[in-house]
Structure 1
Amino acid sequence: MIRFWQHITLRNRFFWWLGGLIILYTVSFFIPFLYPVAIVAMLFFAALTLVDAALLFIVKQPLSVSRRLPQVMSLHDENEVHLHITGRFPAGLRLRIIDELPQQLQKRDLELQYRLPARTSRELTYHLRPLERGAYHFGKVHIFISYLFGLAERKVSIDLEDMVKVYPSVMQMKKFELYTIRRIAHFQGMKKMRRIGHSYEFDQIKQYVPGDDVRSLNWKATGRSASLMVNHYEDEKAQQVYCLIDKSRTMKTPFDGLSLMDYAINTSLVISNIAVRKEDKAGIITFASKVNTVLRADRHAGQMRKILELLYNEKAIPEESSFEHLYYQVRRHVHVRSLLFLYTNFESYYAIERALSVLRKLNKLHLLVVVFFENEEINRYGDQDAGNTESVYLTTFAKRFTLEKQLIMQELNKYGIQTIITSPSDLTIHTINKYLELKSRGLA
């Protein structure tokens, strides 16, 4: 009997009816002929509730439930979780389902409601959007079932402890892979770049057609064939592409639930995958006050797995970034001219002045692309109309901050350093565009 009451809860409908009966009972003190009616109604209601609760136990195990998780979850994407429910009850049930979610999600309001027909199986789906990398542990599934009058519920708890790892955005990696090679033009925000320079690998000699680069004319072949012939080149293969990720305190700034470092990690995964697909070599270097991890560039079959595991384990470090130490380690580990994507964030002109000498040295040895971020909230604030003296001051400060970012970009460009300044949400698209642009121009 004790166990019976432990698994029974009363629904809101029960308390609504009980409230009505209490009102009827109160009124009966002033209208005496209602008193017997109130007593009979109260007894009938109590019997109805007991019958409703007892009927829920006519089947010992009314339900079986299984949870199906993806093999890995993708950071900052909508991931599907499936609950497969099989009913063994001889009649239809009303279900209220509560799944114990990982504590990282901080989600306590997930409740699924469903009507399950008699002796049938159904699959319910809900979505989760994780904002942290790491191991996520799921707990029990609690199902509250009600039947007939819907006054009482039976609680059924099923132990379905599961663990799934949340990796950098694998979904985003696959999504952008589909639109990269020769099909970039079909994706919003991307454009196909016309080849305007030479790569280093000769492809073939073809007859000249209008639009070909006249600097590629092959005069010897032209003399032999009596028609203009040009050399055609293809992208250099097996070039090294490194993503240099700043893990210092400047990259902990949040945007839409993720830190700037997480956006850089997601984009590094996408760029590395595209580089490997284009037969380049991809590598990763992370740093703060010193270089923490170095994964040498390669393109073998297991390289993307190594990159994924490395990025999965990276954590932000509350330190200042040391570009001098980064330069020393790049000189030590990267021995051939490579394409370097440096993900960092310069908040002031003073910050770029400190780092500029080192960045210029890096750019002499390699093709350096400095990627840093706009502050969208400050940009929006600067676009607002000022209504009083205080708002004039704040708006002016916001515009100055935005202008300073543009000055940083101009200073880098002055010394021949490639730059990308972007909002975090557009980081991946702009970085892919830059990579393909450099490849098409024969600079990378």
Structure 2
Amino acid sequence: MTFFRSLFVATRLWFILTVFVLLFITAYAFPILFPLVQVAFVVFIILIGLDSWLLFRTKAGNGIFTRREVPDRLSNGDENPITIYLENRYSFRTDVEVIDEIPFQFQRRDVLFRARLNPRETRAIRYELRPTRRGEYSFGAVNVFALSPLGLLKRRYQVEQGKMVAVYPSFLQMRQYELLAATNRLTEVGVKRIRRIGHSMEFEQVRPYATGDDVRTINWKATSRRSDSQGAALMINAYQDERSQPVYCLIDKGRVMQSPFDGLTLLDYAINASLVLSNIALMKQDRAGILTFSDHIGQLLPADRRTGHMLRILELLYRQKTRFLETNYESLYASVRTHIRQRSLLLLFTNFETVSAMQRQLPYLRRLAKDHLLLVIFFENTELRNLLEQPAADTEQIYLKTIGEKFTFEKRQIVKELAQFGIQTILTAPQNLTANTVNKYLEMKARGMI
């Protein structure tokens, strides 16, 4: 049974059989050709037996060695590398076809690769997968079909069945921002250089004046004391960035975050941005926390910056589930007031399509902004923007563009109305969410707003 399960027929064999059928039909009309066709068919049967012997004379592990290399975790929304290693242990050149049984979530049936391997040759086949949902993904077997030089039959080698891989929020994007921040190259991903305005209020030390220091920071009392004891020398007050400030990402898991863009929901874009922003905040010595909510409060991770806190944030974001019900902002306000006592920066990831939808939640937003520094982040409809950029060719398109202009105008009105009550906003396209959020956070740090 193992032999027959591993035996497959190549396309070349079916083609030759078709030719023999035509030859036998021709020999029926011209009997003189019948003996020649019979001899050729017997030779063909012998070649099939020879091909079978070449492929199956070795044990399963001594023909084609195969190994698939998959990361322990996949990054949601990113291209993740997958590698399949092949080694030809036959004594002859072998053509191989590789079919990888990838998880059903990708809905792909084109993961087929072909290669030609010389004896003892090793080959690495690399491709990429882009998951769009968090959760567990199950990889099936790697099927390798080997053909001898005759190319009549195939032998299947099936390895690595049942590998389970978890898809986490975009940790590849987080590492990219972390690396660029460490090397001062954040401008490569759209993060602007922010000029610091004024001075931080957190005192560090009194030190001697150096060329280029701001003369407004001269400490005249310390200067006079030093002049009396060690000679004339100017002393200045040195300040450092304020640290250990609470930064919370409030993630709306309600119905408004269900809209898809490039395969990911707005919720997953918000989760990926929250992961990157939390990591940047920890690098800036601030404390990062997470609060999720929809029709009720989900999970709350208090702001902290102890060792291992980033891993706790990653695990919390990975396990977020929702039914995309109507959001309850009243419960959000009650939870923030109860659990977040210290004034903090609150980054609220949500979405408002109309001014009336925002006005229904405005009383709760104003109360949050009264006790904390609130930044509301919502999304631009990129499909509408593409529609508005195209010229209208008929009356129907004019009507659609008019409706689109109305919705786009309402988005800008939301920004203006929130600004009237001192609420910071970001209106962004989903693909620019992370860069724009990090930009705004760094701007607020530079301006001493938090």
TM-score interval w.r.t. the shorter chain? over 0.9
Native 8 Å contact 2:86 2:124 kept in 1: yes
2:58 maps to amino acid:
V
1:3 Cα shift? Answer: 4.5
Native 8 Å contact 2:67 2:160 kept in 1: no
Where do residues 124-163 of structure 1 align in structure 2 (5 Å cutoff)? 124-163=125-164
Native 8 Å contact 2:277 2:438 kept in 1: yes
Partner of 2:51: 52
2:173 maps to amino acid:
Q
Where do residues 180-199 of structure 1 align in structure 2 (5 Å cutoff)? 180=181, 183-184=184-185, 186-199=187-200
Task: Percent identity, please.
Answer: 45
Unaligned runs of 5+ in 2: none
Whole-angstrom CA distance in 2 between matches of 1:315 and 1:48: 59
Partner of 2:446: 440
1:423 maps to amino acid:
A
Change over 3 Å in CA distance of 1:223–1:361 after alignment to 2: farther
Q: Please, which of 259, 263, 266 is the counterpart of residue 272 of structure 2?
A: 266
Change over 3 Å in CA distance of 1:105–1:301 after alignment to 2: same
Partner of 1:243: 249
1:167 Cα shift? Answer: 0.6
**Number of aligned residues:** 442
* Residue 354 of structure 2 is aligned to residue 348 of structure 1: yes
Q: 370-379 or 65-74, which moves further after superposition?
A: 65-74
Whole-angstrom CA distance in 2 between matches of 1:13 and 1:41: 16
Change over 3 Å in CA distance of 1:184–1:218 after alignment to 2: farther
Partner of 2:15: 16
Partner of 2:281: 275
Q: 389-398 or 6-15, which moves further after superposition?
A: 6-15
Where do residues 305-320 of structure 1 align in structure 2 (5 Å cutoff)? 305-320=311-326
Counterpart of 2:119 in 1: which secondary structure? coil
Whole-angstrom CA distance in 2 between matches of 1:405 and 1:65: 54
Q: 270-279 or 96-105, which moves further after superposition?
A: 96-105
Native 8 Å contact 1:383 1:395 kept in 2: no
Native 8 Å contact 1:248 1:289 kept in 2: yes
Native 8 Å contact 1:261 1:316 kept in 2: no
Where do residues 346-425 of structure 1 align in structure 2 (5 Å cutoff)? 346-425=352-431
Counterpart of 1:391 in 2: which secondary structure? helix
1:289 Cα shift? Answer: 1.4
Native 8 Å contact 1:184 1:191 kept in 2: no
In the TM superposition, what whole-angstrom CA distance separates every residue of 1:325-344 from its partner, at most 9, and x where no partner exists?
Answer: 11110111111111111000
Whole-angstrom CA distance in 1 between matches of 2:56 and 2:291: 60
1:317 maps to amino acid:
R
Partner of 2:89: 88
Q: 46-55 or 328-337, which moves further after superposition?
A: 46-55
Where do residues 331-342 of structure 1 align in structure 2 (5 Å cutoff)? 331-342=337-348
Q: Please, which of 415, 425, 434 is the counterpart of residue 428 of structure 1?
A: 434
1:160 maps to amino acid:
Q
1:169 Cα shift? Answer: 0.7
1:41 Cα shift? Answer: 3.0
1:117 maps to amino acid:
N
1:120 Cα shift? Answer: 4.1
Q: 154-163 or 24-33, which moves further after superposition?
A: 24-33
1:291 maps to amino acid:
I
Native 8 Å contact 2:92 2:149 kept in 1: no
Counterpart of 2:181 in 1: which secondary structure? coil
Whole-angstrom CA distance in 2 between matches of 1:256 and 1:240: 32
Whole-angstrom CA distance in 2 between matches of 1:83 and 1:171: 21
Counterpart of 2:180 in 1: which secondary structure? coil
1:81 Cα shift? Answer: 2.1
Whole-angstrom CA distance in 1 between matches of 2:241 and 2:254: 35
1:393 Cα shift? Answer: 0.4
Q: 424-433 or 68-77, which moves further after superposition?
A: 68-77
Whole-angstrom CA distance in 2 between matches of 1:210 and 1:385: 55
Length-normalised TM-score, structure 1:
0.92
Counterpart of 1:406 in 2: which secondary structure? helix
Partner of 2:334: 328
Q: 170-179 or 75-84, which moves further after superposition?
A: 75-84
1:42 Cα shift? Answer: 3.0
1:5 maps to amino acid:
F
Where do residues 275-314 of structure 1 align in structure 2 (5 Å cutoff)? 275-314=281-320
Unaligned runs of 5+ in 1: none
Length-normalised TM-score, structure 2:
0.91
Change over 3 Å in CA distance of 1:11–1:174 after alignment to 2: same
1:136 maps to amino acid:
Y
Whole-angstrom CA distance in 1 between matches of 2:176 and 2:23: 63
1:82 Cα shift? Answer: 2.5
